[in-house]
Amino acid sequence: MDGIKQGIELRSPVQEDPAHLPEDELAGLKINRLPSDLEESIMELKKDRIILSAMGEKLAKAYIAVKGADLKELGELTLEDEVELLLEIY
């Protein structure tokens, strides 16, 4: 909705998988890579005023706190232990 309100026009569609494009092409197309892990995702969310505003202050704070706790707990586990724990939970 923010893009519509600001009158931002869509860019031309990308016909290739952006994951396989070199960094200079991505920059030329104004494509930013998505966060690659939970820590980076939390950092990017904290900077995204549009998403934070859409979530509302209370939900945004709670979500960031929960994901921060997840990061702390899961960061201490091996990949195998993390997968086992998440399979049990979900």
3-state secondary structure 43-75: HHHHHCHHHHHHHCHHHHHHHHHHHHHHHHHHH
CB-CB contact of 30 with 11 (8 Å): yes
Question: Which residue is listed with tokens 């026009």?
Answer: 9
Range of the domain at 41: 2-89
Mean pLDDT of the chain: 92
Is the model's pLDDT at 84 over the cut of 90? Answer: yes
**How many structural domains are present in the chain?**
1
What's the DSSP call for residue 11? P
pTM of the model: 0.72
Residues 6+ apart with CB under 8 A from 29: 11, 14, 18, 21
